[in-house]
Structure 1
Amino acid sequence: MAHNFAQEYFQIPVVTRTYTTACVITTTAVQLEVISPFQLYFNPDLIIRRYQIWRLITSFLFFGSFGFSFLFNIIFLYRYCRMLEEGCFRGRTADFVFMFLFGGVVMTLFGVFVNIFFLGQAFIIMLVYVWSRRHPLVRMNFFGLVNFQAPFLPWVLTTFSLLLGNSIVIDLLGISVGHMYYFLEDVFPNQPGGRRLLVTPQLLRAMFDQPEEPDYRTLQEEQQGGDLQQDEEQHD
């Protein structure tokens, strides 16, 4: 059974596996009182003046203590992060990591001006937003109550959060950053005079993208074609 679990675990795409595992480990460590949420939350003053740089990362990893909210966030994180990585980002791990970096940096900049302590939920909404805009025709159902198309999913989640009495600032932040990425990556480059502004650095490509192995059959056909052309030239 342990072997089957390990096998299934390592079949999860690397970015989804890493981020989801980090979130679970961080929350477990807080639950066991190994660390405190006060050591994790986003605080620009502590980051700048006391060099607590880790807060730039840990503020995206904690979703509160174990409970419905944590389970809800983890399920959505795993589901939509994996669907993105196995779908439109298949074979493009570096581009997916770059999207993570873009979302993290922009949310952090917004977080300086907005009183938000943990940014993980906003990051999940960003992933949901990007997925929903790239799958506009998918029909969805929310708890068996509401039927809608995928692009409305972020707004349904925001409404659900509002009905639970939560602040929707985090959800709106995730939607805003998700739309920024979607516009710069999918909309603006296809406009007249538009161009791609989000270019994945070569360092990320060298770190995460494996060079494609040339197809042996294609190489063999090309070689045969070249030999045939050379024979014809010699015959002429």
Structure 2
Amino acid sequence: MAYQTFQQEYLQIPLVTRAYTTACVLTTAAVQLELITPFQLYFNPELIFKNYQVWRLITNFLFFVQYRYCRMLEEGSFRGRTADFVFMFLFSGLLMTVFGMFVSLVFLGQAFTIMLVYVWSRRNPSVRMNFFGLLNFQAPFLPWVLMGFSLLLGNSIIVDLLGIAVGHIYFFLEDVFPDQPGGGLVKDPGVLKALFDTPEEDGNYNPSLRSGRGFPWGGAAPGG
């Protein structure tokens, strides 16, 4: 029964969030079980481009898991737009990889999470937040509150700044800059829509016009 409940909860997580979280959990578990080491995963441009260890372009994003805002984004402003959500992952990951070459970060997963937090917070400006029961603020301030908390703990804020910068670039290009409502400069290629988005049903299709015992005689099948 417990397994069935877990399976139901797991399958209710949106596709992209489920895949990303699963990859993070499996990667972390493999490290804890000493099947692999963090030294095989971290971001290192020299090893990537000279030794062709290209997996590091992906694995450095998997050593930190915080899927709450990822799920809220996919279930919220990206509902029904899986291809756009995947493209945001690819676009933001590429920017972080480029910027990561100029900063001393070996894992970019936490910065990626801050990016997701930033995009979610800017798309939900009216949501009220509470930080440890001490501080109340609007959602757009959340990334900066988290950065301030990191600073109080004595941690480097480079991670937070990188996530905020990439999140702002995406938000600006997609939500702020375009002149036409709903239009954005960050557009996913058609192949992603073909892979991830369900084709819209043809409103003019009438199954009663088909003949031949259900076979598509005389024309292409819907969506074909």
TM-score interval (norm. to shorter): 0.7 to 0.9
Shift of 1:24: 1.0
Cα RMSD (Å): 1.7
1:58 maps to which residue? 59
In the alignment, the residues of structure 1 paired with residue 99 and residue 119 of structure 2 have an alpha-carbon distance, to the nearest angstrom, of 19
Q: Specify which of 107, 121, 137 is matched with residue 148 of structure 1.
A: 137
Shift of 1:219: 5.8
In the alignment, the residues of structure 2 paired with residue 134 and residue 202 of structure 1 have an alpha-carbon distance, to the nearest angstrom, of 25
In the alignment, the residues of structure 1 paired with residue 10 and residue 185 of structure 2 have an alpha-carbon distance, to the nearest angstrom, of 35
Q: Per-residue CA shift, 1:49-88, capped at 9, x if unaligned?
A: 110000000000013xxxxxxxxxx3xx321011100111
1:208 maps to which residue? 196
Q: Specify which of 187, 191, 199 is matched with residue 199 of structure 1.
A: 187
Q: Per-residue CA shift, 1:145-169, capped at 9, x if unaligned?
A: 1100000000000011111111000
Alignment of 1:161-176 (within 5 A): 161-176=150-165
Unmatched tracts of structure 2, length 5 or more: 210-224
In the alignment, the residues of structure 1 paired with residue 3 and residue 110 of structure 2 have an alpha-carbon distance, to the nearest angstrom, of 31
2:111 maps to which residue? 122
Unmatched tracts of structure 1, length 5 or more: 64-73, 224-236
One-letter code aligned to 1:2: Y
SS state at 1:189 partner = coil
Shift of 1:210: 1.2
SS state at 2:5 partner = helix
Alignment of 1:70-149 (within 5 A): 74=65, 77-149=66-138
In the alignment, the residues of structure 2 paired with residue 39 and residue 17 of structure 1 have an alpha-carbon distance, to the nearest angstrom, of 24
One-letter code aligned to 1:78: Y
Structure 1: 4+ residue segments shifted above 2 A: 212-215
1:181 maps to which residue? 170
In the alignment, the residues of structure 1 paired with residue 4 and residue 200 of structure 2 have an alpha-carbon distance, to the nearest angstrom, of 30
In the alignment, the residues of structure 1 paired with residue 141 and residue 200 of structure 2 have an alpha-carbon distance, to the nearest angstrom, of 37
Percent identity reads 72
1:36 maps to which residue? 37
Query: Which is greater in Rg?
Result: 1
Determine which structure has the larger helix proportion and give its number.
1
> Could you tell me the TM-score, scaled by structure 1's length?
0.83
Q: Greater shift after overlay, 101-110 or 26-35?
A: 26-35
